[in-house]
């Protein structure tokens, strides 16, 4: 009988063939059901690009008049109301001035006394002293004359032998004594007061004048008048209130000349400069906007609460008495502005190390494209090179997929 040989298949070869067929099947299936990722996208466009910084600030007058109590006292009368317009020199408030009147009277009395002392010093003494000194001078002159006559008579008698030498010597001694007394009295008339005496009296006059000036100032402050024209914007006291020395009484300012004091966090102050435009918003008037500019940029970093900040002064350019002092506002500073520049949404920009890039969408695939960027703000970034206005860039996937070069994508709204 003929025999039939049966050839066995190597199991390793069979396994390899099955693996190849499975791989081909999977690749074919993926080709048929290719994974397409849905992404949000944006066109590259030309836009005006503004960079801004915002913070809170407080409104304050540029040149306010703030009246304070010079001494403890009672508010006697208030002549104005908050919001009232006043002119320079108008009487605003009157304080109880009994104490001020007493102080002024005492100071004037002290000045009169000091001036009288100065007058007496310049005249050589009081009137009584001058009369007494004149009488002493007359007596001394008379005594000298009598001594001279007596000496002359004795000298003639001595020549005739009718007077002794001792009598003549005694007469000479009396004349010398009379001359000495007369000289002393004359010196008292011309040099009675020393330089120290004159300086002391002059100092007393100066002190008295200063006391009068201070008392007059206190008395004048009892009638508080405004040195500027403006609007009364604060009266923290009422009539008959007792106030301590230094306590605030009334505030006046030109509300067309106001500024905002704002504090910017330390990382932002390097972007601020004098002259930069500022937008001002007050929550109490949400439909109104004011404009200004930085008049003083931060010059140092200070601690403000828990923040390290720079203090910035912003002048308000269009205040019309509608932005009140001491109100809290939001200020937005434009630190840079570019007009009609090529830009993309900021979320389209990716950074790796020192390189920036975006993903362009080219025929349904992502293409990683290096770009050079310029200024940026919170929402957009300027593109200096790498893109054209005809390009479209991917922002992000609608799923949790990461974007990558060559990824198949579909643009969705």
- The answer to whether the beta carbons of residues 328 and 366 sit under 8 Å apart is no
Quote the CA–CA distance of 37 and 332 in Å, as a whole number: 40
Answer yes or no: CATH 2.40.30.170 is held by domain 52-62+254-338: yes
pLDDT > 90: what percent of the chain?
A: 49
SS3 category, 206: helix
Quote the CA–CA distance of 249 and 217 in Å, as a whole number: 17
Residue whose pair of structure tokens reads 């050839």 in the numeric block? 7
pLDDT > 70: what percent of the chain?
A: 89
Structure confidence at residue 193 as a pLDDT band (50, 70, 90) = low
Quote the CA–CA distance of 208 and 239 in Å, as a whole number: 34
Which token pair is 395?
Answer: 């922002």
Q: Is the pLDDT of residue 231 over 80?
A: yes
Average pLDDT over residues 361-383: 92
SS3 category, 302: strand
Q: What pLDDT is stored for residue 24 in this prediction?
A: 66
Note the pTM of the prediction, 2 decimals.
0.57
Average pLDDT over residues 195-221: 81
Structure confidence at residue 115 as a pLDDT band (50, 70, 90) = confident
Pick 323 or 32 by higher pLDDT.
Answer: 323
Residue whose pair of structure tokens reads 């020199």 in the numeric block? 89
Q: What are the structural domain ranges in the chain?
A: 37-49+339-412, 52-62+254-338, 65-96+223-252, 108-216
Contacts of 326 (CB under 8 A, 6+ apart): 58, 59, 60, 234
Residue whose pair of structure tokens reads 């002391």 in the numeric block? 200
Q: What pLDDT is stored for residue 32 in this prediction?
A: 47
Answer yes or no: CATH 2.40.50.100 is held by domain 65-96+223-252: yes
What pLDDT, in 10s, does the model give residues 329-355? 999 999 988 899 999 999 999 999 999
Answer yes or no: CATH 2.40.420.20 is held by domain 37-49+339-412: yes
Quote the CA–CA distance of 345 and 391 in Å, as a whole number: 13
């Amino acid at each position: 009988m003929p025999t039939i040989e049966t050839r066995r298949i190597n199991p390793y070869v069979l396994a390899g063939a099955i693996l190849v067929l499975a791989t081909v099947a999977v690749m074919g299936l993926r080709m048929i059901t290719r994974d397409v990722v849905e992404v949000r996208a944006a066109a590259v466009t030309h836009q005006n690009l503004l960079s801004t910084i915002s913070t809170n600030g407080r409104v304050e007058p540029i040149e306010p008049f703030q009246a304070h109590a010079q001494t403890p006292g009672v508010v006697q009368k208030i002549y104005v109301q908050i919001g009232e317009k006043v002119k320079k020199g108008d009487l605003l408030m009157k304080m109880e001035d009994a104490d001020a009147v007493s102080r002024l009277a005492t100071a004037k009395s002290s000045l009169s006394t000091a001036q009288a002392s100065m007058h007496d010093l310049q005249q050589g003494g009081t009137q009584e002293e001058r009369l007494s000194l004149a009488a002493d001078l007359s007596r001394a002159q008379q005594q000298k004359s009598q001594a001279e006559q007596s000496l002359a008579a004795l000298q003639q008698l001595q020549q005739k032998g009718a007077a002794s030498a001792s009598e003549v010597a005694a007469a000479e001694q009396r004349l010398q004594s009379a001359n000495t007394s007369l000289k002393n009295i004359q010196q008292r008339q011309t040099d009675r007061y020393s330089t120290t005496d004159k300086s002391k009296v002059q100092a007393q006059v100066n002190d008295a004048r200063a006391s009068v000036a201070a008392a007059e100032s206190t008395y004048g402050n009892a009638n508080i008048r405004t040195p500027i024209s403006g609007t009364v914007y604060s009266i923290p006291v009422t009539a008959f209130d007792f106030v301590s020395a230094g306590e605030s009484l009334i505030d006046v300012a030109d509300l067309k000349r106001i500024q905002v004091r704002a504090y910017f966090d330390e990382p932002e102050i390097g972007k601020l400069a004098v002259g930069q435009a500022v937008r001002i918003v007050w929550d109490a008037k949400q439909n109104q906007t004011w404009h200004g500019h930085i008049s003083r940029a931060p010059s140092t970093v200070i601690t403000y609460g828990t923040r390290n900040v720079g203090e910035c002064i912003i002048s308000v350019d269009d205040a019309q008495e509608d932005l009140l002092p001491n109100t809290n506002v939001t200020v937005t500073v434009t630190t840079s502005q570019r007009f009609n520049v090529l830009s993309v949404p900021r979320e389209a920009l990716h950074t790796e190390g020192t390189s920036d890039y975006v993903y362009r969408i080219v025929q349904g695939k992502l293409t990683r494209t290096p770009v050079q960027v310029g200024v940026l703000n919170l929402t957009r970034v300027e593109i200096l090179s790498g893109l054209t206005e005809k390009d479209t860039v991917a922002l992000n996937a609608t799923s949790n997929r990461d974007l990558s070069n060559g990824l198949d994508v579909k643009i969705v709204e």
